[in-house]
Structure 1
């Protein structure tokens, strides 16, 4: 028996159009799905400022206006010479200032000048550190009539100041005032420091004193 031809399913025209549109939509849907590269490009195209964590808000501390700032203690600073500094300079002027320092007298021009003149009358500038006893002081030097010596010039300055304070009120008064080298010199002449009393000033020069540095050994270093 001859085979029959298979029947062909024919959809109505409006049904066929609907199916065609559905297929086209499905194909288009697949074509617009982004690839991995496209996704990566999309992710990394985001501005860094938007990816960075947000900065914390500014913080403010409010303090009561009645609260005062803490007081900070600081060591007082001054321009006064130190013992070590004067010893390093090492001149006859330095030694005069050391005597004034140990005695508590101001290093005024008048005070420094009268001590330099006094030292010149006792030993002379070229050898003012003779026996480490610039003013030939007998107190604490181990020698009478000012012929003793000290281990160093710092010790000599200390004993000189002490000797003046313990028995020479006229000289101390002049140094306390610190205003007149001549007035203090007159007190020196009148004192028993030198038996000659410097001929009451006749053997006392007021010419400028040469500034001379002593050897480091005389200062004890």
Structure 2
């Protein structure tokens, strides 16, 4: 039997021996701590500079007509205002001849003359047509303004093959020698202003008694027969 000898403690616990740790283990621990710290700093920095609104994302899916691109945008993102071009349309020959009223013929004259089909221009034209031919038969001889140019008759007693031709000749005659009336139409001047230009012009030898033979009451809208167009 072997006898184990113990070192006397003299009433105290013996001191623990230091444990040897390899340099490689210490180095790996240091590197690990440094790596954790760098990762934490990177996460904090990323959070501090990341946008509060998620970036837009796109996906592509297949639709009945091929690939479809879909955009996902955060609900708080406001769409910028979009200014769209204004589109204006005017009635053309087919529409006006289908409606076939005295107001439509007035618009035809405006169209052929290159003037606005405005309420002011149509109103003064209707009043003018009423002074030349009453509303019930404003299409008399297919010559609503009793225009002598191209109608084959002096003093406005001629006729045209149809009302479309009459509108073309009316616009051409005005452009040939009636600058005051043309200026009124081009500016969509008030009916009274353009009417004054008509009275002052040589269109009518009576000059409509300088307005005394000119009514401003509403003009009845009357449709012409299809044969007139």
Aligned to 1:81: 91
What RMSD in Å do the two structures reach over aligned CA positions? 2.1
Equivalent in the alignment of 2:150: 140
User: Which residue of 2 is the match for residue 37 of structure 1?
Assistant: none
* Structure-2 residue corresponding to 1:168: 178
Larger Rg: 1
Instruction: Name the SS of the counterpart of 2:145 in structure 1.
Output: coil
What's the TM-score, normalizing by structure 1?
0.64
* Cα deviation code 1:169-191 (max 9, x no counterpart): 00001101103110000000000
CA contact (8 A) 1:108 1:179 kept: no
Are the aligned partners of 1:93 and 1:112 in contact in 2 as well (CA < 8 Å)? Answer: yes
How far residue 78 of structure 1 moved from its aligned partner, in angstroms, is 5.2
| Structure 2 CA distance for aligned equivalents of residues 136 and 179 of structure 1 | 23
Cα offset, 1:80, TM superposition: 1.6
Q: Does the CA-based 8 Å contact 2:174-2:182 persist in structure 1?
A: yes
Q: Give the corresponding residue for 2:202.
A: 192
Point out where structure 1 has 5 or more consecutive residues left out of the alignment.
1-57, 64-76
How do 1:1-221 and structure 2 match up within 5 A? 79-219=89-229
Question: Is contact 2:116–2:186 with CA below 8 Å preserved after alignment?
Answer: yes
Cα shift at 1:82: 1.1
Paired residues of 2:142 and 2:163 also in contact (CA < 8 A): yes
Counterpart CA distance in 2 for 1:108 and 1:135 is 19
Q: Is the 8 A contact 1:103 1:165 kept in 2?
A: yes
Give me the TM-score of the superposition, normalised by structure 2.
0.62
Structure that is richer in helix per residue: 1
Aligned length: 149
Consecutive aligned runs of 4 or more in structure 1 exceeding 2 Å deviation? none
The structure in which a higher percent of residues are strand is 2
- If asked which structure has higher relative contact order (CA below 8 Å, sep 6+), I would say 1
Q: Distance in 1 between matches of 2:167 and 2:209?
A: 25
In the TM superposition, residue 79 of structure 1 has moved relative to its aligned partner by: 2.9
Whole-Å separation in 1 of the counterparts to 2:94 and 2:169: 17
